[in-house]
Amino acid sequence: MNFIDKAVIDVTSGKGGDGVVAFRREAHVPKGGPSGGDGGRGGSIVFEATNSLSTLLDLRYNKHYAAKAGQNGMAKKMHGANAQDLIIKVPVGTCIYNNVNGKLMADLTEDHQQVVIAKGGRGGRGNTRFASSKNPAPTICEKGEPGLSYELRVELKLLADVGLVGFPSVGKSTFLSVVSRARPEIADYHFTTIIPNLGVVQVPDGRSFVMADLPGLIEGASQGKGLGHQFLRHIERCRVIVHIIDMAGSEGRDPYEDYCTINKELSEYQYHLLDRPQIVVANKMDLDGAEENLEAFKEKVGEDVKVFPMIAPIHEGIDQALYAIADALDKAPITSLYDEEGEEDSVLYTYEPGDENAFEIANLGNGVWEVTGERVERAVQMASLNTDDGFKNFAIKMRNYGVDEALRAAGCQDGDLVRILDFEFQFMN
């Protein structure tokens, strides 16, 4: 099965059911009064993390998800049925972004964890709800609230404690195969690893952690060259980075230049990857020139950078590196994927839209005005405008929202045409 770690999908929550206008009509029951019931709630779009999935393959081939609408209300004050939520299952480690503004909406890191991305619309109220002493027989009802629509970018970011970085063919896959039961493809050509591989590593003293062998980096990876854009996504969660270097320079590259190039790519990527603990492993120490290159490398990087020599195929130097990795993990903090501009460090469970009370007024010229804003547009969509009572109720809402006053302040005159979505009416002072 192909490893699919990114998908763009459209989701729409269900519309609420409409309320109804109805009256009791029973023999020998005078003045029965209103009996219109409320509509049911529309279905929400819910994402659920599960360990039973390992890729986003289902989302790659099914890009449109729409929850069902709530049932309309009925006579005799009967409430319409609520629609079932649409649950979309994704692998643990999935991040959900608004693909329009790039905002991180949810980060699912635990099995069975759920997040409501788009709430279903609430059901409209029936005329029973509008009865009062002044109007005991109202002909007002509400339509169901529209559902929410989003274009989402869904990304899988592996839940590994340790990430292996380095140029292609430096021995990352060999190292992972030696220290765990993972069996990545190993060969003497570049990019044998084109998908991430995970393995559970057991340290001789009993400690354990999850290690990821990730596709090889090249210069320009942070700008998307090679497999870099795929690789860097998966290292975002890693708390410790293990930098493996071909110390023999067997492909004609200089080990120190390799070290600087990889760290430059890490520094240019988001999430401050270079701020995380890094263990440097000098691999292929059995080849000619490795000892001399190691001495020169240590002089250039200084005493602050600890380097662990290793010959992976024969397990030489493996334990010392594993102890160092485990020690670094013990001290490494948990890494959050939320940015630092006011985002919470905790996992989101319900995504709330922005300020829904705001609205804007635009002068289109020739006495035509347009009002836009989530709350006023929703009021139009839910209004029952085919009766006098319904239109009067809508006008009162606009006044309470401050639309009348704002239009007047903007210069709207008596008789001017005001447009909200596809509904138009004349402004009267």
Q: What is the mean pLDDT of residues 116-125?
A: 94
pLDDT given at position 335:
61
Same domain, 11 and 141: yes
Alpha-carbon distance 357 to 51, whole Å?
A: 40
Task: Determine the pLDDT at residue 389.
Answer: 83
Identify whether residues 45 and 96 lie together within a single domain. yes
- Domain match, 191 and 77 both: no
Asked whether the beta carbons of 63 and 52 are under 8 A apart, the reply is: no
Q: Considering only CA atoms, which of 179, 119, 154, 174 is closest in space to residue 324?
A: 179
Same domain, 206 and 258: yes
Distance, in Å, from the CA atom of 381 to the CA atom of 379, rounded to the nearest integer, reads 6
Q: Are residues 149 and 169 in the same domain?
A: no
Q: In this structure, are 152 and 166 located in the same domain?
A: no
Give the annotated binding-site residues for Mg(2+). Answer: 173, 193
Same structural domain, 182 and 91: no
Of 156, 179, 205, the last residue of a domain is 156
The answer to whether 142 touches 383, Cβ cutoff 8 Å, is yes
Cβ-based neighbour number of residue 331 at 10 Å = 9
Q: Please tell me whether residues 150 and 190 are part of one structural domain.
A: no
Inter-CA distances, 208 with 4, 309, 326, Å: 27, 21, 8
pLDDT of 345 reads 39
Weakest-pLDDT range from 25-34, 154-163, 179-188, 259-268: 179-188
Q: Which of 106, 207, 96 is nearest to 155 (CA)?
A: 96
> What pLDDT, on the 0 to 100 scale, is given for residue 356?
57
15 domain residue, yes or no: yes
Of the candidates 93, 87, 74, which has an alpha carbon nearest to the alpha carbon of residue 35?
A: 74
| Mean pLDDT, range 298-305, rounded to an integer | 88
What pTM did the predictor assign?
0.71
Query: How many CB atoms lie under 10 A from the CB of residue 408?
Result: 12
The pLDDT value given to residue 270:
65
Annotated binding site for GTP: 166-173, 191-195, 213-216, 283-286, 311-313
Distances (CA, A) of 56 to 5, 262, 390: 6, 28, 47
Whether 64 contacts 147, CB under 8 Å: no
Query: Length of the chain in residues, anyone?
Result: 429
Summarize the confidence of residues 21-26 as an average pLDDT.
Answer: 87
Q: Is the pLDDT of residue 99 over 90?
A: yes
Smallest CA-to-CA distance from 39 within 85, 76, 71 is with 71
List the CATH number of the domain containing 273.
Answer: 3.40.50.300
Distance CA 87, CA 268 (A): 37
Q: Are 145 and 43 in contact (CB under 8 A)?
A: no
Whether 81 is in a domain gets the answer yes
Chain center to CA of 207:
32
Residue with tokens 């559902």, as numbered in its chain? 147
Confidence at residue 225, expressed as pLDDT on a 0 to 100 scale: 45
Give me the chain's average pLDDT, please. Answer: 83
Mean pLDDT of 304-308: 88
Q: Are residues 218 and 135 in the same domain?
A: no
- Tell me: do 129 and 186 sit in the same domain: no
Range of lowest pLDDT (262-276, 301-315, 359-373) = 262-276
Count of domains for the chain: 3
Q: List the binding residues.
A: 166-173, 191-195, 213-216, 283-286, 311-313
Q: What are phi and psi of 365, to 5 degrees?
A: 85, 160
Residue 354 lies inside a defined structural domain of this protein: no
Please compute the mean of the pLDDT values over residues 314-330 and round it to a whole number: 90
Residue 120 has pLDDT above 90, yes or no: yes
Q: Which of 312, 374, 318, 343 is nearest to 121 (CA)?
A: 374
CA distances from 172 to 127, 182, 285, 310, 361 (A): 69, 12, 14, 12, 59
Q: Based on the domain organization, do 148 and 183 belong to the same domain? A: no
At 230, the pLDDT band (50, 70, 90 cuts) reads: low
Range in 188-202, 221-235, 335-349 the model is least confident about: 335-349
Instruction: Pick the closest to residue 307 from 315, 210, 296, 286 (CA basis).
Output: 296
| Banded model confidence at residue 88, pLDDT cuts 50, 70, 90 | very high
Percent of the chain with pLDDT over 70: 85
Residue 344 included in any domain = no
Is residue 51 located within the same domain as residue 167?
no
